[in-house]
Amino acid sequence: MLTKVRRLTGVNFMMDRCGAAAEAEIDDTSKVLVLSIWRQQMRALLDDLGWQAEDIAIRSYDGGATLMISAPRDALYAAASMIEQVWADVCAVIAGQQPEDPVCADAISTMIARQSNPAEVALEAAANSRGVTYLGNDQLVSVGLGRGSKTWQADQIPSTDDIDWNTVHDVPIAMVTGTNGKSTTVRLAAAIGKAAGRTVGLSSSDWVRVGDEIVDEGDYSGPAGARLAVRDTRVDMAVIETARGGLMRRGMPVPSADACLITNVAADHLGEYGINDVRALADAKFLLAKAVKPQGRLILNGDDQELVERGVRFDGKITWYGLNFDDGLLERWMESGGHAAFIANGHMMLACDGTRSRIMPVADFAPGMGGAARYNLSNALAAIALASALDLPVEAMTRGLSGFKGTPEENPGRGNIIEVGGLTLMIDFAHNTHGVAAVVDAIKTLPAKRRLFLAGHAGDRSDHDVRELTRAIWQGEPDMVVVKELPDKLRGRTLGELSEIFVDELKQLGASQDQMQLATNEYDAVHKALTWARPGDFLVLLLHDKREPTMNLLQKLTDTGWQAGEALPA
């Protein structure tokens, strides 16, 4: 069976060229022969098409393999079709049957000719020869970035001789990936950029924003968001959230960057695209290192062992950041001119080329919750390192971070602390064990009469993942856990299936029946949580669905003077 057939429009996990790829489910006992036959038949087809220069790549993993071929940029749809057709032929041969519709080089050639766009090919070559960014392979094509960009419809590309290349240029750009902390770090870096007087183009899992204007809302942590941000001609600096899914589905969103940051690596979304363990996930995220420009910087979390292991092999400039550096080793790194962001004597610090700068007191960084939210201190250090790599001044780092309060408007769903009716609520998007554990570590240091967790999960996580997350929640010593269904995120599960796993694990951990409630959806879960709560309680609401109804309800409660213990308004 072949799944996730896709075009890869940039440097990707399989090779440094664009092309097409798919995942094939293959029994391990027959894998060697099946893949050998597929490679042989694909090579023959490529040669028949005159594509002798195109490559084949295969990545094997337990239960399957990723298959990829490189292809000209204007023939990626044809390349995807080739993968499907050759696979179908191979399956027929293995089954001892004649292929129903054997692949035909002439038919593929006709498809390639129909998709051919010589003007796009010429534009990309012209941009590359001038050292400016080219972005294409959708309805729009562009050269340059931000204020130096020009964009056209893919069927209306001018002659390269008619373009005023003197006005085409790139702007400083950074990409951020990692399991957790991406969105917050991107927004912190944007706040620093704004403090430096820059018009920042930002893409994230909630929106694309240019300056203070939200251009569009939605999950824009993939290539579409990146291109929307960097094609805006108001932008003179871009910070792009780059999620693993987009990297695997389309490849690098932009071909190169002045700074690339990887926040951390932890188990999440395992089993997708043949990424079945944390080491493979780390390799996938480390793909960003290939995008760092020769004079650019790779920024890595020194507290993450997977990143440390790969970072020491990186042949380029690195800035390390972290909360747990060995003081002696850090001192030697800085004395040698190394760049680092760290905490010393209660202050966030930056070291560059032998110069050390004090950015701000930890206690003054609101999202750090007085030092309790160590994950947000790590995010702040990451943003400092990123800002430094983009040559932003230290003064802007101080102003940007000091002014960032972590409100729902600034950083929706990321550690938002709200006081309502005598209650303290934390609204957070934490959706994996690593993220939930970080939240638990933070809130356990904060005063509370009782604690409640609202939790649930999308259906594409394994039973093991759900149980691990439940155990992380239980470490927060909750007096109540409200388990929500996510009917729109079942992803192959049946309604109630995940809740049963949550409840079973809670019981095994020692939870009594009166410490658990079930909710039919997220909004119902919020109602149950607020109904249970009394003044002085601390409620951790892990929200993964539409946050707007919940935020509207909380605003209504505030406006009406509601107090915990009273009936909720209709």
Q: What is the pLDDT of residue 459?
A: 86
Give a yes or no: residue 374 inside a domain: yes
**How many other C-beta atoms are found inside a 10 Å radius of the C-beta of residue 332?**
11
Q: pLDDT digits over 208-249, tens only?
A: 999 999 999 999 999 999 999 999 999 999 999 999 999 999
Query: Are 146 and 201 contacting, i.e. CB atoms less than 8 angstroms apart?
Result: yes
Sign of CA dihedral 284, 223, 177, 551: negative
Neighbouring residues of 555: CB distance < 8 A, sequence distance ≥ 6: none
What are the backbone dihedrals phi and psi of residue 13, each rounded to the nearest 5 degrees, phi first? -65, -20
- In this structure, are 259 and 378 located in the same domain? yes
Query: Are 69 and 8 contacting, i.e. CB atoms less than 8 angstroms apart?
Result: no
Reply yes or no on whether the pLDDT at 80 is more than 80.
yes
- Region for 340 from its dihedrals, namely left if φ exceeds 0, alpha if ψ lies in -120 to 50, beta otherwise: beta
Q: How many residues does the chain have?
A: 570
- In this structure, are 548 and 430 located in the same domain? yes
CA-CA distance, 252 to 170, in Å (whole number)? 17
Give a yes or no: residue 137 inside a domain: yes
Residue 237 to residues 178, 389, 458, Cα–Cα distance (Å): 21, 12, 35
Q: What is the pLDDT of residue 226?
A: 96
More confident residue, 426 or 413: 426
Give a yes or no: residue 293 inside a domain: yes
- Beta bridge partners of residue 207, listed in sequence order: 217
- In this structure, are 220 and 273 located in the same domain? yes
Q: pLDDT digits over 192-211, tens only?
A: 999 999 999 999 999 999 99
The one-letter code for the residue type at 94 is I
Give a yes or no: residue 410 inside a domain: no
CA-CA distance, 93 to 98, in Å (whole number)? 7
- Confidence band of 570 (pLDDT split at 50, 70, 90): confident
Nearest of 352, 428, 355 to residue 180 by alpha carbon:
428
Q: How many angstroms separate the most distant Cα atoms in the chain? A: 76
Give the CB-side neighbour count of residue 567, counting CA atoms within 13 A. Answer: 2
- In this structure, are 217 and 141 located in the same domain? no
Number of compact structural domains in the chain: 4
Give the CB-side neighbour count of residue 532, counting CA atoms within 13 A. Answer: 26
Tell me the mean pLDDT in the region 548-555.
95
Give a yes or no: residue 461 inside a domain: yes
Give a yes or no: residue 492 inside a domain: yes
- Which of 1-10, 102-111, 230-239 is predicted most confidently? 230-239
The one-letter code for the residue type at 387 is A
CA-CA distance, 70 to 536, in Å (whole number)? 60
- In this structure, are 78 and 160 located in the same domain? no
Q: What is the dihedral of CA 510, 511, 514, 519, to 10 degrees?
A: -150
Q: pLDDT digits over 538-547, tens only?
A: 999 999 888 8
What are the backbone dihedrals phi and psi of residue 477, each rounded to the nearest 5 degrees, phi first? 50, 55
CA-CA distance, 292 to 284, in Å (whole number)? 15
Which residue, of 356, 371, 402, is where some domain finishes? 402
* Percentage of the chain lying above the pLDDT 70 cut: 100
CA-CA distance, 46 to 168, in Å (whole number)? 36
The one-letter code for the residue type at 217 is E
CATH of the domain at 74: 3.10.28
The one-letter code for the residue type at 541 is L
Q: Which helix (H) or strand (E) holds 141?
A: strand 140-143
Q: What is the pLDDT of residue 457?
A: 87
- In this structure, are 100 and 189 located in the same domain? no
**CA-based radius of gyration for the chain:** 25
- In Å, how far from its chain's centre is CA 23? 21
Q: Which helix (H) or strand (E) holds 4?
A: strand 2-8
Reply yes or no on whether the pLDDT at 431 is more than 90.
no
- In Å, how far from its chain's centre is CA 402? 25
Domain that holds residue 199: 173-402
DSSP 566: B
In the structure encoding, which two tokens stand for residue 55, read together?
A: 């490559």
Query: Are 514 and 532 contacting, i.e. CB atoms less than 8 angstroms apart?
Result: no
- In this structure, are 160 and 227 located in the same domain? no
Give a yes or no: residue 86 inside a domain: yes
- In this structure, are 81 and 122 located in the same domain? no
Reply yes or no on whether the pLDDT at 488 is more than 80.
yes
CA-CA distance, 262 to 214, in Å (whole number)? 25
Query: Are 154 and 138 contacting, i.e. CB atoms less than 8 angstroms apart?
Result: yes
- In this structure, are 252 and 368 located in the same domain? yes
Nearest of 208, 428, 175, 388 to residue 285 by alpha carbon:
175
- In this structure, are 438 and 534 located in the same domain? yes
Give a yes or no: residue 568 inside a domain: no
**How many other C-beta atoms are found inside a 10 Å radius of the C-beta of residue 555?**
13
Query: Are 335 and 354 contacting, i.e. CB atoms less than 8 angstroms apart?
Result: yes
- In this structure, are 58 and 194 located in the same domain? no
Q: pLDDT digits over 309-344, tens only?
A: 999 999 999 999 999 999 899 999 999 999 999 999
Which residue, of 349, 378, 402, is where some domain finishes? 402
- In this structure, are 150 and 226 located in the same domain? no
- Beta bridge partners of residue 502, listed in sequence order: none
Q: What is the pLDDT of residue 97?
A: 83
CATH of the domain at 515: 3.90.190.20
Query: Are 215 and 467 contacting, i.e. CB atoms less than 8 angstroms apart?
Result: no
